[in-house]
Amino acid sequence: MPPIMEHPETYFRQFIPPRSALLKELEEEAHREEIPIIGPVVGEFLFILARVVRAEKILELGTATGYSAIFLSEAFESQRGQLITIENDKKMAQRARKNFQRAGFEKQIEIRVGDAIDVMKTLSAPFDLIFMDIDKIHYNRALPHCRRLLRKNGLLVADNVGFEDADPFNASIYASKAFRMVSLYSFLPLHSPEKDGICLALRS
Ligand SMILES: C[S@@+](CC[C@H](N)C(=O)[O-])C[C@H]1O[C@@H](n2cnc3c(N)ncnc32)[C@H](O)[C@@H]1O
């Protein structure tokens, strides 16, 4: 087998995607305040996934300052695109709202303040893509709602599935007949943490 890079982590840091001044500012703020955001590599990954499925209706669980929602909204190809993001921390939701205005997405992104599972119960299908990034202990409870809300061939992306708290979710989705799924354990520069798992699951 040909040799792999000697220092792959250093090597792949060269290829962190370019992004706007606002997104860089949110990264610096997250670093200072220890807010766990997805970072530019996973951000770009979400952008590409959302564009590939031509998402027009996206649901995000876990807004924080709005960093990941901005990447997802950049994928909309028309003004019809709509993203609902759920955050249970009122102050964080307020900060995100301001960032959505700064990014020019105030018309396309709606923040719902409350527990993600409670809010999901009030939503109607179909969504094209759901991005799950709340406390990992709640992932398994959110899964039946993801199943109900996603359209056929809609995509569920769950971040941080390398966390121990994600184990019940990982086991449930692996066993579920409602999804075809894969878990990728990867090096993700500037993601919190930099080595973690991401689950991609297609609604059957
Ligand atoms: C990892 S951060 C989200 C980061 C964001 N997705 C990004 O990358 O820019 C998780 C956020 O989810 C919120 N959260 C945690 N559990 C929640 C729940 N059950 N319902 C709603 N929000 C929740 C936290 O307050 C926190 O702001």
**For all residues of the chain together, what is the average pLDDT?**
97
Q: How far is the CA of 61 from the centre of ligand 1 (A)?
A: 7
What domains can be seen in the chain, in order of their start residue? Answer: 35-203 (3.40.50.150)
- The finding on whether 106 has its CB within 6 A of some atom of ligand 1 is no
- One digit per residue, the tens of pLDDT, for the chain of length 204 reads 999 999 999 999 999 999 999 999 999 999 999 999 999 999 999 999 999 999 999 999 999 999 999 999 999 999 999 999 999 999 999 999 999 999 999 999 999 999 999 999 999 999 999 999 999 999 999 999 999 999 999 999 999 999 999 999 999 999 999 999 999 999 999 999 999 999 999 999
- pTM of the predicted model, to two decimals? 0.98
Amino acid 147: pLDDT: 98
Pocket test for ligand 1, best of 88, 94, 136, 140 (most atoms within 8 A of CB): 88
Nearest to 178 by CA among 196, 152, 158: 152
Residue 31 CA to residue 47 CA, distance in Å, equals: 22
Contacts 24+ apart (CB under 8 A), 1-8: 8/187
Q: How far apart are CA 63 and CA 71, in angstroms?
A: 12
What is residue 19's predicted lDDT score, i.e. its pLDDT?
97
Residue pair 201/155 in contact (Cβ under 8 Å)? The answer is yes
Q: How far apart are CA 84 and CA 69, in angstroms?
A: 9
- Three-state DSSP at 165 gives helix
DSSP summary character for residue 111: E
46 CB near ligand 1 (under 6 Å):
no
- Site to substitute for ligand 1 among 63, 91, 136, most atoms within 8 A of C-beta: 63
**Any atom of ligand 1 within 6 Å of the Cβ of 56:** no
Q: Length of the chain, please? A: 204
Which atom of ligand 1 is least distant from the CA of 42? 8
